[in-house]
Amino acid sequence: MTKFKALIVHASEFGSTKEVAHVVAEEFFQKGFDVKIENAAEVKQIKQYDAVIIGAAIHYDKWMKEARGFIKRFEQELSTKQVAYFFTCLTLVKARQKDLNKVMKYSNDILSSSLKIKPISVGAFAGVLDYTRMKHFNKFVAKIVFTLLKIRPKDYRRWGEIYHWINETIDAVKKNCYITSNEN
């Protein structure tokens, strides 16, 4: 039986979203997919993939530009594949109602970056605040902003939630891949 192929694409300034992307890739591999993982800015083509999972950090209230650029470049092809998005951010750390509203806005902005692509789901995860990974301007801004917000440096990723999303996404991708391959 031919294996379904998944491409995991990431855009990550300080590495924590890339680490999540690697876990996504590992889970797809464990569930029987052929998997490739690539930096969003470096992807040349996506023709052979049945599923494409795109994950990026939120920086300055936006999904990283490399992820947005990837969607722009491959919009037409992505509209014919199984797609899921995820993002990491620190707005989810406190998770008050106003934070959840902001996270909902992040999701909606990502969804509205293409109306042709119909993703299976959008995963939103708390990320990492680690000043030792940052340099110069980002470090300066982040220290001011997150000190004011009373968010201290820490790995806020909740791996249970992340694995739950990945496995739900894999189940949906598999189901749709089987339906699509039987139609052809």
Ligand X SMILES: Cc1cc2nc3c(=O)[nH]c(=O)nc-3n(C[C@H](O)[C@H](O)[C@H](O)COP(=O)(O)O)c2cc1C
**Interatomic CA distance for residues 44 and 132, integer angstroms:** 32
Contacting range for ligand X; rule: CB under 6 A; set: 13-21, 109-117, 164-172, 176-184: 13-21
Residues 24-63 that bind ligand X (CB under 6 A): 57-61
Q: How far apart are the first and last CA of the chain?
A: 15
Kindly state whether residue 67 participates in binding ligand X, applying the rule CB under 6 A. Answer: no
Which of 43, 51, 53, 90 contacts ligand X by CB under 6 A? 90
Residue nearest to ligand X (CB): 127
Determine contact, residues 130/13, Cβ cutoff 8 Å: no
The conformation of residue 15, written as its DSSP 8-state character, comes to S
Which of 4, 6, 12, 52 contacts ligand X by CB under 6 A? 12
**Interatomic CA distance for residues 46 and 73, integer angstroms:** 10
CB-nearer residue toward ligand X: 77 or 99: 99
Strands 51-59 and 82-89: parallel
Kindly state whether residue 155 participates in binding ligand X, applying the rule CB under 6 A. Answer: no
Which of 25, 40, 128, 166 contacts ligand X by CB under 6 A? 128
